[in-house]
Structure 1
Amino acid sequence: MPGGYHDVRLYFANLRRPPATWYYIASLPSPVAKRFLVWTISACSIALADCLLLAQPAGIRMIVIIVVLLYTMKSVVYMECLIRDPRKLPLLRWIAFHCWIGMRPYVFAKRKDKPYDGGKLIRLGFVRLLIGIGMVTLSWLTWHWAAQWDWNPIVGRICASGFLLAGLSLIGHFGLLNIGAGLWRKAGFDCQPLFRNPFQSRSLNEFWSRRWNLAFSEMTSLGVYRPLAGLIGKNSAAFASFLFSGILHELAISLPVRQGYGMPLLYFFIHGCGIVIEHLLEKRGCPISKVPWVGRLWTIVWLVVPLPILFHPAFLKGIVWPIVGIY
């Protein structure tokens, strides 16, 4: 790798200059060295975080692992962006990029003098935040009513879990993240909402690429799909992106509870197969989105039916249920 060994030596020589280590990696001239270092340090960071938190509750381990995943993958994305576009963010703008969940670093390349309109997003975020808190409260009430009225425990847990997962999603995905996007827009940066009416999706491809967690789709596109597309083809790269998403969810869901390995990966494998089916139908002139209600029903079935594979019992028991006292 031309210049790669020299770049690696330079990196280790500069480890004594925190906190700009990750920032320095992205500045290396060799793409091979950059990719090697950023992926190696990302994997080591996750392993180190997990080892240091062995004695902590599963919920704490999950939060820390997710934070480490987020910021290591931001470094992967920024590095891939620099390989294609030599514009380098100033250090403070690079830090600002790491203070937002989104994965588009050049949103922070330029600050608009007149702030963007963020008020609507902030108001919408607060409304959904309050609804989410209400649903978490309803989950708690449902479980305690179930115990008081001698419901079947399985029925009680299913009902309470449904309210709880929906409430947590409203609080985080649709509440806090919308508020954050609105605040960044008021600060002059064109941050967009990351969850855009997902129930309007008429296909799995639309759901994953344009409506649900755009930060995650941008991350897999920039960090996995684009580097692999030229090597193994677009279809194989797209499928690999789903498998990579499954691995990240294994780290966030199964690793903290030390059980359920393989189930989140299976969920995303199933969805990768669903995307392949959609592409085949489209090639034959029968796109699943042709009839809107059919496309929406198709998408909901693929998302909801295998959901217990993603949020497996060990994860629910170790992390989710304790929030409202479900046992």
Structure 2
Amino acid sequence: LLSEITDMIAEIAIAEPLPRWAVMWLLAGGVFLAGKLAMRAALGRVLPAPTRWEEVAWMALWPGMDAEAFFRRGAAPGRTVAGGAGLLAVLLGAGLIWGLARHLATPLAAGWVAMVGLVLVLHFGVFRLLAGCWQRQGRRVRPIMDRPVLALSLAEFWGQRWNRAFRDLAHRWIFRPVLRRRGRHAATVAVFLASGLVHELVITVPAGAGHGLPLTYFLIQALGMTLERRLFPGSAAVAGPGHLIPRWIFTHAFTLGPVFLLFPPPFVERVILPFLHFIHALP
């Protein structure tokens, strides 16, 4: 299904050349659509049967991938999402995009600041506000981002706090099948490999350069998970206070340290900067 969607996008781009940033959004939308359809099909029939409005809302008004949580009503698991933090993220992100970015000395710095702003507006802002809205409607959804800065391990960061939409999709279609056949280590590597390939599709393909760097970033994360188990055996929940700071430093050194591999300069220059000009964030 994903292959068919990407082929269709490629045909559109060939028929009428599109800006690189538009190709990026089309590819990202294709991946999102394929994931939505796959997760809905895996859930099968739901009792009571969803209305047409609920099906449309699942596809277009909720970025998460846990179909069962969305369609089966009940109390939301964990904390109920408040709207204040989401609204603050939207305002802060918008300030970075349409305020700070245009005043920076170098285009590359402006692009990076604006990318942080986009993540704040979408993932920490709009998506969080949607989670709160759907929870108040009785949906068992969780926010896509759950305070990743508090993660005390790479397993916690990638498995619970960062982009639960991709986590749920990868867990259902990659982790669980590989786990049954090859074990936990192979399943973990397979998920990071898949994540790397998806990011190659939406980052280096539109940019036309930097191939292999996003994949390298996620393979570094897989290596970090292996080191983590050896350096910090046991759960962070039972670790003493003296062990929490090294765990936190290790986690965020691995996630942030090689982040320039994930978004190489050609992507910022050829995709992000033209998009910022399009939305009038840069003069």
TM range (shorter): 0.7 to 0.9
Q: Kindly provide the CA deviation profile for residues 233-273 of structure 1, in whole angstroms up to 9, marking residues without a partner as x.
A: 22101110100011111111111222222111111011111
- String of CA shifts for 1:25-65, please: whole Å, max 9, x gaps: xxxxxxxxxxxxxxxx2211112212312310011111111
SS in 1 for 2:82: helix
Structure 1: gaps (5+ residues): 1-40, 147-155
Q: Which has the larger radius of gyration?
A: 1
Rounded to whole Å, the distance in 1 between the matches of 2:12 and 2:96 is: 34
- Bigger drift between 184-193 and 299-308 goes to 184-193
Q: CA deviation at 1:322?
A: 2.6
Please state if 1:305 is matched with 2:257. Answer: yes
- Report the alpha carbon displacement of residue 302 of structure 1 after superposing the two structures with TM: 0.9
Letter in 2 for 1:71: L
Equivalent residues of 2:58, 2:70 under 8 A apart: yes
Q: Is the 8 A contact 1:139 1:324 kept in 2?
A: no
> Which of the numbers 5, 8, 12 marks the counterpart of 1:52?
12
Which residue does 1:269 correspond to in 2? Answer: 219
1:124-203 aligned at under 5 Å gives the runs: 124-143=85-104, 146=105, 156-203=106-153
What are the superposed Cα offsets for residues 91-130 of structure 1, whole Å, 9 maximum, x if unpaired? Answer: 6344432231111111233346x999x9963332222101
Q: Deviations over 1:119-142 (max 9, x none)?
A: 963332222101111112343333
Mapped to 2, the partners of 1:115 and 1:211 lie a distance apart of 16
Residues 1:253 and 2:203 are matched in the alignment: yes
* 1:200 positional shift: 0.8
Pick closer, same or farther for the CA change 1:201–1:287 going to 2, 3 Å.
closer
Equivalences, count: 270
Find the aligned partners of 1:51 and 1:160 in 2 and give their Cα distance: 32
Query: Which residue in 1 is equivalent to 2:38?
Result: 76
> Using the alignment, how far apart are the partners of 2:162 and 2:190 within structure 1?
19
- Which SS does the other structure have where 2:219 is aligned? helix
Aligned mates of 2:29, 2:263 — CA distance in 1: 19
Q: Provide the rounded CA distance (Å) in 1 between the counterparts of 2:34 and 2:67.
A: 14
Amino-acid identity (%): 26
The residue identity in structure 2 corresponding to 1:310 is L
- What residue is the counterpart of 2:157 in the other structure? 207
Partners of 2:150 and 2:211 in 1: CA distance = 31
For 1:243, the equivalent position in structure 2 comes to: 193
Cα pair 2:111 2:269 within 8 Å, conserved: no
1:62 aligns with 2:24: yes
Which residue identity lines up with residue 143 of structure 2 in the other structure? P
Change (3 A) 1:246 1:70: same
TM-score using structure 2 length: 0.85
| Rounded Cα–Cα distance in structure 2 between residues aligned with 1:133 and 1:295 | 32
Distance 1:200 1:289, change over 3 A: farther
Q: Which of 1 and 2 has higher RCO (CA within 8 Å, sep 6+)?
A: 2
| Aligned residues of 2:195 and 2:218 also touching (Cα < 8 A) | yes
Structure-2 change in CA distance of 1:306 and 1:288 (3 Å): farther
Equivalent position SS for 1:223? helix
| Residues 300-319 of structure 1: CA deviation (Å, up to 9, x unaligned) | 21112211111011110112
CA shift in 2, pair 1:141/1:257, >3 Å: closer
Using the TM superposition, give the Cα deviation of residue 196 of structure 1 relative to its aligned residue in structure 2, in angstroms: 0.9
